[in-house]
Amino acid sequence: MLEKLNIKSLNLSRNKVSGVGAEEIAKGIATNASLTELNLEDNQIDNHGAQTLAANLALKPQLTLLNLNGNNIGPEGARALAEHLGNAERSLPELNLSRNPLGNDGAISIANLLKANPSVTSVALSGCNIGNKGAQAIAEVLAHDEKSAVTSLDLSNNDIGNEGALAIEKLLKSNATILSVNLSNNKNITGADSLAPLLKPGFNFHALSINRIV
């Protein structure tokens, strides 16, 4: 049915879609020539659904939005997304994987996706159990990739500490493309001194959120 619909945006958020359901959706959208936005926020697609979706979305070079916020996707699902969507020929300006238990391994996979796919402009990874290692991997990729188009990076509500904050500082020093960074509610960042360098003149960004430092 989905393959026959002439639609640009599909929103199935909060519909209790399971991994099996995601597999059926994936089959339908794979051959839908018009779809550019897919919102599956707050479902239950888990790693299996993410893997199937990724494989089918790889056939859609015109995708502009993928929202998988709150779907219990872990490192395996993130690895599949990176494998299938981490391609310079795939368009994916907006990626939202917030509130998924990606951990550091999942964040590293997303870093690899960003390195391989320079079309991404907005990355939301809030509440993904990401620590210093994951933050450092993402920051390192964005700091050294001249082709990166990322302007917005949300790493709020994670487990990032001072080392991760330092990596973000280095990123902002070397990457003038990023305009918005959210590090709020990372309770392992201890003391304003860890982020003070980010407030110095010379950083060309529009928004920096770092509240709730202990």
How far apart, in whole angstroms, are the C-alpha atoms of residue 83 and residue 23? 17
3-class secondary structure, 203: coil
The total number of residues shown for the chain amounts to 214
How far apart, in whole angstroms, are the C-alpha atoms of residue 205 and residue 172? 8
- pLDDT tens by residue, 4-18: 667 899 999 999 999
Characterize 87-106 residue by residue with b for buried, 16 or more Cβ atoms within 10 angstroms of its Cβ, and e for exposed.
beebbbbbbbbbbbebbbbb
- pLDDT tens by residue, 83-117: 999 987 788 999 999 999 999 999 999 999 999 99
Using the structure block, give the residue that is written with the tokens 């918005």. 180
Please check the confidence at residue 209 and state whether its pLDDT lies above 50: yes
Please check the confidence at residue 191 and state whether its pLDDT lies above 80: no
- CA distances to 96, 109, 162, 164, 177 from 174, rounded to whole Å, are 24, 22, 19, 16, 9
Question: What is the architecture of the domain spanning 2-209?
Answer: Alpha-Beta Horseshoe (3.80)
How far apart, in whole angstroms, are the C-alpha atoms of residue 2 and residue 17? 15
